[in-house]
Chains A and B, each alone.
Chain A
Amino acid sequence: MTLVPSLLRRLVPGLVPLAVLAGCASSAPEQAARAQLTKAQTAYRQAQSDPNVQAHAQLQLADAQKAVQAAEQAQNAEDMQQLGYLAEKKAQTASVVGAMRKTEQDTQMMGRETQDILLQKRDRELKAALADADQARASAEARARDAEAKAREAEQARAQAEQARQTAEAEQAKTAALAKELADLKAQQTNRGLVLTVGDVLFATGRAEVAAGGMRSIDKLAEWLKKNPTRNLLIEGHTDNTGPEDFNMKLSQQRAEAVRDQLVSRGVGADRITTKGYGPKYPVVANDSASGRQQNRRVEVVVLNEGATAESVAR
């Protein structure tokens, strides 16, 4: 029976210092421990009320909460000091982690925003480049059309020049040909004018019809006269001395008229032509040979100088 009080008596002295420590708040370590606990509780409340911590740092917050509870339940000042410090740091860490996670979330959003802007930018740059290309192509096309039109104009001008040149050349050729043709007619410049001798072969002996071979010379003469409307003609017929005088006179007149008729039938005005028959009176060579007589059987066409009359030049 006396065992229990005896035990208590022996144990009590050991319990007294603890009771003093726990109950009395006046010692310095005790005050420091209480202050530390308060700091931990404040830090925890701050973390707990932070929406970022609530959203992103629940693990850390729970850890801090357990630490604060442990500090609150500390059995002595030393433990309270230690546990209070650990709890305060854990609560602070929870706050920092909450803020960090929030910022991390922000960077993810900004990453998406950056991508979005880059896409828009690329889009606009592409559009701008396409517009530039369109404009460049349009102006290139306009330049091409312009160049084409100018080329066409140049080609037209060149063709016109060519045509003009050809026309001029043709005219020149015609004139040259005519001059040559007149030369073919054996024209001779005399003081009476230009005298063409229509060859003796044109007429058969005793006949006044122009032979087929003479037609070419007549054609050329008619053409020349049409080109030179101011020049008039005196056509003179000549014979050899064969046959009676009056027959030859008549024949020479008929031969001159035959040439005139051929010219008139080719469109040369009859009023421009005067005819004369001289018979054998004016031989060009002696009539003592067949060839000489042939040369004398002839028609001479005198192309009168401008303003001259047939009478003034007739023999």
Chain B
Amino acid sequence: MKQTIRRIARGLVWIAIGTPLAAGCSSNAPLASTKLAQAERAVDEAQQAGAAVSVPVELRTAEDKLKAARAAMANKDYDQAIKVAEQAAVDADYARARAANERVKRMADEMRANIQTLRQELDRLPQ
């Protein structure tokens, strides 16, 4: 009786340890593809924002990580794929924000110069 209980307990322990491991491995694949899709979209948006021209280094970082995520995905290394895909996404968001900021700054500079020219022209006219 005692032995039977022990056997059952031992089995339960193995189930308790093994199940989460097996479930973890099999459930990481969909999460990885979701994260990869998010990263793809984020990098795409950064490229469209003109990051390749205004912040090439930052964009390159995101692109490299996206490539690494794709490679990990292909190797079925889902944990690694999730990790680098998450990083690629935040890197791309950052690059996109920087690109947008650069564009707006350039626009502001042009407007400032334009205003200065206009003011000079205005001052030359009689009141």
Query: Which residue of A is nearest B100, CB measured?
Result: A100
* B86/A117 in contact, CB under 8 A: no
* B101/A128 in contact, CB under 8 A: no
Say if the beta carbon of A89 comes within 8 Å of chain B: yes
Which residues of chain B have C-beta atoms less than 8 A from A292's C-beta?
none
In the complex, chain A residues 94-117 whose Cβ is within 8 Å of any chain B Cβ: 96-97, 99-100, 103-104, 106-107, 110-111, 113-114, 117
Query: Which residue of A is nearest B98, CB measured?
Result: A96
* A118/B93 in contact, CB under 8 A: no
A293 to B36, CA, bound (A): 162
In the complex, per-residue mask of B59-86: 1 if CB is within 8 Å of any chain A CB, else 0: 0000000000000000000000001001
Say if the beta carbon of B31 comes within 8 Å of chain A: no
Which residues of chain A have C-beta atoms less than 8 A from B104's C-beta?
100, 103-104, 107
Say if the beta carbon of A86 comes within 8 Å of chain B: yes
Say if the beta carbon of B40 comes within 8 Å of chain A: no
* B115/A93 in contact, CB under 8 A: no
Say if the beta carbon of A82 comes within 8 Å of chain B: yes
* A7/B13 in contact, CB under 8 A: yes
Interface of A is mostly: helix
A-B pair count, CB < 8 Å, reads 79
Say if the beta carbon of A90 comes within 8 Å of chain B: yes
Say if the beta carbon of A3 comes within 8 Å of chain B: yes
Given contact pairs A96-B101, A100-B97, A110 touches B90 in the complex (Cβ within 8 A): no
A82 to B112, CA, bound (A): 42
A103 to B107, CA, bound (A): 9
In the complex, per-residue mask of B93-117: 1 if CB is within 8 Å of any chain A CB, else 0: 1100110110011011001101100
Which residues of chain A have C-beta atoms less than 8 A from B87's C-beta?
82, 85-86, 89
Which residues of chain A have C-beta atoms less than 8 A from B121's C-beta?
121
In the complex, per-residue mask of A114-126: 1 if CB is within 8 Å of any chain B CB, else 0: 1001101100110
- The minimal Cβ–Cβ distance linking A132 to chain B, given in whole angstroms, is 11
A96 to B104, CA, bound (A): 11
Query: Which residue of B is nearest A92, CB measured?
Result: B94
CB within 8 A of A93: which of B83, B94, B118, B127? B94
In this complex, which of A92, A107, A120, A128 has the most chain B Cβ atoms within 10 angstroms of its Cβ?
Answer: A107
Say if the beta carbon of B23 comes within 8 Å of chain A: no
Which residues of chain B have C-beta atoms less than 8 A from A113's C-beta?
115
Given contact pairs A117-B115, A124-B122, A93 touches B90 in the complex (Cβ within 8 A): yes
Say if the beta carbon of A26 comes within 8 Å of chain B: no
In the complex, chain B residues 1-27 whose Cβ is within 8 Å of any chain A Cβ: 5-6, 9, 13, 17
* B13/A99 in contact, CB under 8 A: no
- The minimal Cβ–Cβ distance linking B80 to chain A, given in whole angstroms, is 11
Say if the beta carbon of A127 comes within 8 Å of chain B: yes
Say if the beta carbon of A27 comes within 8 Å of chain B: no
Which residues of chain A have C-beta atoms less than 8 A from B17's C-beta?
14
* B101/A100 in contact, CB under 8 A: yes
Given contact pairs A89-B93, A103-B108, A120-B122, A114 touches B100 in the complex (Cβ within 8 A): no
Which residues of chain B have a CB within 8 Å of any CB of chain A?
Answer: 5-6, 9, 13, 17, 83, 86-87, 90-91, 93-94, 97-98, 100-101, 104-105, 107-108, 111-112, 114-115, 118-119, 121-122, 125-127
7 A-B residue pairs with Cβ-Cβ distance under 8 Å, sorted by A, are A100-B100, A100-B101, A113-B115, A114-B114, A117-B118, A124-B125, A128-B125
